[in-house]
Amino acid sequence: MRNTSRTSAILKSGLAFSTLLCFPQTSFANETDLDDIIIIATRMETEAGKVGSTTHVVTEEDLKEGGATFVSEYLTKLPGISFSQNGGAGKASSLRMRGLSNYYIKVFVDGIDISDPSSPQVEARLEHMLVNDVERIEILKGSQSALYGGQAVGGVINIITKSAEPGLVKHSGMFEAGSYGTVNASYGFKAAAEMADIAVNIQRFQTDGFSAVSPNGRPADDDGYENTTLSAKGSFDATESFNLYFSARSVEGTSEYDGGNDPAANKEVDVTQHFGKVGANYLWLDESMTTDASVQLSDFTRDYSSGYLAKGNRIKLELLNDWDAGESFRLNFGGDWSRENVKGQDQVIDVAGGFVQALWNPVEALNVSGSVRLDEHNAYGSYLTGRGTLSYQVSEGMRFRSSLGNGFRAPSSYELYDSYSGNPDFEPETSISYDIGIDQDLFDDRVSLSFSYFHILTNDLIINDPATYKYEQIAGTSRSQGAEVSAVWDFSANLSFNGAYTYTWAVGPDRKRLERVPLHDVNLGMAYKPIDVLALNLDASYVSGIEDEGELDAFLLVNVKASYQHNENLTFYVRGENLLDQDYERIDNYQTPGLSVYAGLSASF
């Protein structure tokens, strides 16, 4: 007789694999705990201790304790990740991983590729990604083109939104107000029955902001921002072995900015992002094979008050398979096809690809994986990528890991076909990267240490010439190499410390340092709970060695958050950012927030 509870569990596991969803865990600013389950690293559920690549996991609790409003704010607390922005909330931004910019990082929300095809260099616009509906974030570093195709040269980020808990109906909400006329609010509803579940969230953020461009004695106006985000996801067990699911997200916002480097030039851009995914998941072959088929659609618009309109869309079809061939061997394989359209350009970008990956556990302490992918691009033909990883448990509490992979980034539609900036003769950028690392747990797992060394070589960079605003391809090899060190110390049941340091040496073919990549990046944190109902969180970051029209001044940021849990349903909090009121820049001539204070409450029932 079939074990229906086991079948349902396996099917839900397969659904998690297909949409890159999984279970909450882990601690701030450290490599993933070895007992955790992680999906992004192999596109199937895998114990983190068996993964050779460098990974991080951020939980909903981490986001709450960290006091972040946007996903990008929290990610900068992790080793190897930095962020720069043209002013305050909602302004154009760039997230960097190990020295590589946004357009080398693949970003998903619930398994949906959220990169904007109308961007000059196709990239995810994380300046619009609020955290209030986020349950978990998985980060995978290094070249991952063999699993995820082009663009995944520097790494992959998957953002997982909140899902319903079995057998529960739950309402949740938060409200916050503070400096710069900022108001942030959200409401969420989750419900799950035996065969179906659904989760819906609405978020609203608005701020008066401050002048994006540094006034330097000139007249200036505030540059505000507003954002309304709706999201929903759900699933239905049609049978014991067949599941249907969907996810959708809509973002509408308006961001003011300073045109022409004039702090008083009041311009604005209206932003809309709509994307969704539907799929089916089937468990078969004596419950050893999970097959998933899905389609995703996305549409992006940026409408500038200057009259410029950027609009792009994407359709993607995907088929994934996960085969558990036995205790020591697993195989997953699949294929996808996508088409990107950009308004004002006759040409479309079509890419079809297929991959296969094997995971082998020959002895208990050793896990190896190998993957290969072939992509067919309608402008460039075929490109083959590969990746190999190794994880070895040296002793109890100590693990060695390493990965090696190559990647490519095809030029965007804008880079190729824009009437002014484009060049149809551009060739794909290619890369190779490797990293090695050691994870060590000490003192009954109360102390966790991690070290990673990384080295990334990228050939034939495509950059924008600031003198002409045209794109050009630079022959030669760019290099980004460095080290990441992180630690977590659970001093007692109510007191813990964490820290991370990253050194990044990123240079172009001319051996000049790449702009906006910090040379030194230090993050420190403390979490203290003096009594059950009171929690204090303190974090500090020190950044130096940013090149941007010369070297920018180093800066030290200190943030604090205090939370009081009135009862199991209601929590009040107050938080302060940049307590030292540092006047600093991440981009030359663009301002950042000064001393800011916010107060709010969160409730659930």
Decide if 473 contacts 494 (C-beta within 8 A): no
Mean pLDDT of 216-243: 94
Contact 352, 375 (CB under 8 A): yes
Distances (CA, A) of 605 to 167, 169, 171, 568, 582: 14, 9, 5, 9, 40
443 in the Ramachandran plot: left (φ > 0), alpha (ψ -120 to 50) or beta?
A: left
Strand ranges for 534-595 from DSSP E: 534-544, 555-567, 570-577
* DSSP, residue by residue, 486-499: EEEEEEETTEEEEE
> CB-based burial of residue 69 (10 Å sphere; 0-12 exposed, 13-18 middle, 19+ buried)?
buried
Q: Each residue of 198-212: b (16+ CB within 10 Å) or e?
A: bbbbbbbbbbebbbb
Confidence of residue 217 (pLDDT cuts 50, 70, 90): confident
Q: For 419-454, b where at least 16 C-beta lie within 10 A, e where not — what string?
A: eebbeeebebbbbbbbbbbbbebeeeeebbbbbbbb
E strand map for 86-168 = 93-97, 105-109, 112-113, 115-116, 123-124, 134-141, 155-161
Q: Quote the pLDDT of residue 6.
A: 38
| pLDDT for 469 | 84
CA distance 47 to 59: 17
Largest CA distance in the chain: 79
Q: Supply 465's token pair.
A: 């010439």
Q: How many domains does the chain have?
A: 1
Per DSSP, 466 falls in state T
pLDDT at 4 over 70: no
Taking 60 as the threshold, does the pLDDT of residue 274 lie above it? Answer: yes
Under 8 Å between Cβ of 300 and 272? yes
Domain that residue 49 falls in: 4-604
Q: Is the pLDDT of residue 31 over 80?
A: no
Q: Is the pLDDT score of 25 beyond 70?
A: no
> Per residue in 381-425, pLDDT tens?
999 999 999 999 999 999 999 999 999 999 999 999 888 888 999
Residue 98: beta bridge partners? Answer: none
Residue 548 phi/psi, 5-degree rounding, is -165, 100
Please give the pLDDT value at position 35: 53
pTM of the model: 0.93
Of 112-126, 261-275, 575-589, where does mean pLDDT reach its minimum?
261-275
Cβ atoms 569, 531 nearer than 8 A: no
Q: What is the CA radius of gyration of the chain?
A: 23
- Show Cβ contacts of residue 17 under 8 Å, excluding neighbours closer than 6 positions: 39, 43, 44, 45, 290, 292, 320, 322
8 Å CB contact between 273 and 297? no
Residue partners of 307: CB distance under 8 A and separation at least 6: none
| Residue 307, domain CATH | 2.40.170.20
Average model confidence (pLDDT) for the chain?
92
123 with 36: CB under 8 angstroms? Answer: no
Mean of pLDDT values over 219-248: 96
